[in-house]
Structure 1
């Protein structure tokens, strides 16, 4: 299947088949794909937590607002987190990137202050989200990106150390009756002329 066809068929899954478990070897491929995600200056300020253990999924579901059922029924939940302390990033990741990339950070990012630095770091994690959702779709795996979660509660449940939860993604296989799939509810996107500009 070409990527355009994947883009047309991919959708945010609302209802999962609770018996649809993703094979271990496929999960290992997804982990490697996330590890290879792109980021500005190769900064990689992230951590990805894969959860399939039912007790932990249940705990997370209770602090996930309207996403509770998706989390309980999905095969896995993947939590996307960003490094919490700017100094930890500068004394860790940044030291591994070489002088040219560190120079860019010190000239273009650091002078903007801590709030802007943290925003920039979080943006890198969002880049990995797009990469991940596309990978899932290419492998026939359904997914649901979720910002509707209580991130501080996630940090507590997962005992995050040095990283802060930004969002999570449920992955698995759709329930055949999921009303959000394009065959039942056609995709809505703005018209080409409203979103694409050609110069």
Structure 2
């Protein structure tokens, strides 16, 4: 039992400390729909404010989809062309519409009693429904960034490499893939695939440089 725990711990550190931003992939390696679904399911175990899970994904893996994306990501052509898929991550400005579904399921699964569900929905739902757009945008960007980091680590656990990208035409990406651009806020693109060569290590500032102890 102790040996198994040590092995899992070792795997965890290898995943976290061995992660690299990979920009070129083996174009012959494809990720199946089933495995990509597993990766996304595991990624969405990430935390979110009041469990609203405002992240939304567009998985771009077809030639047609990649051609559309390539026009919007001029500085990331290699990632788009060679990766198994590029995942466009969005934040849903109206995620509260799923509140009843999420909390009802929590009760059905035995995660909380009905009265707690009603108390929580009464406490936060009106605030979500009436929140200023700027504040909601900040909230969904934070939550969608959490799931994005988890997605990259989960992909590595599946044996794949990733690269987060912000260099693309964010004002056009939602409508290009059939989403309402006022509702769905672009967060980042994440290329996923098998690296055709190892990613480069990079320097990190010392903890004392980035941390204040209070």
Instruction: Please state which band the TM-score falls in when normalised by the shorter chain.
Output: 0.7 to 0.9
Aligned partner of 1:189 in structure 2 is 204
Residue 50 of structure 2 is aligned to residue 37 of structure 1: no
Which runs of structure 2 are paired with 1:8-47 in the superposition (5 Å)? 8-47=17-56
Aligned partner of 1:173 in structure 2 is 194
Residue segments in structure 2 that go unaligned for 5+ positions in a row: 1-9, 104-116
TM-score normalised over the length of structure 1: 0.82
Aligned partner of 1:72 in structure 2 is 81
Contact persistence 1:61–1:69 (CA under 8 A): no
- The offset of 1:79, in angstroms, is 1.1
Contact persistence 2:57–2:89 (CA under 8 A): yes
- The offset of 1:13, in angstroms, is 0.6
Quote the Cα distance in structure 1 between the aligned partners of 2:148 and 2:119: 26
- The offset of 1:110, in angstroms, is 7.0
How many equivalent pairs are there?
188
Aligned partner of 1:136 in structure 2 is 155
Which runs of structure 2 are paired with 1:87-126 in the superposition (5 Å)? 88-90=94-96, 92-96=97-101, 97=103, 98-102=117-121, 103-104=123-124, 106=126, 113-126=132-145
Quote the Cα distance in structure 1 between the aligned partners of 2:44 and 2:17: 26
- CA RMSD across the alignment: 2.4
Structure 1 or 2, whichever has the larger Rg, is 2
Quote the Cα distance in structure 2 between the aligned partners of 1:49 and 1:144: 16
Once the two structures are overlaid, the 10-residue window that deviates more, 10-19 or 95-104, is 95-104
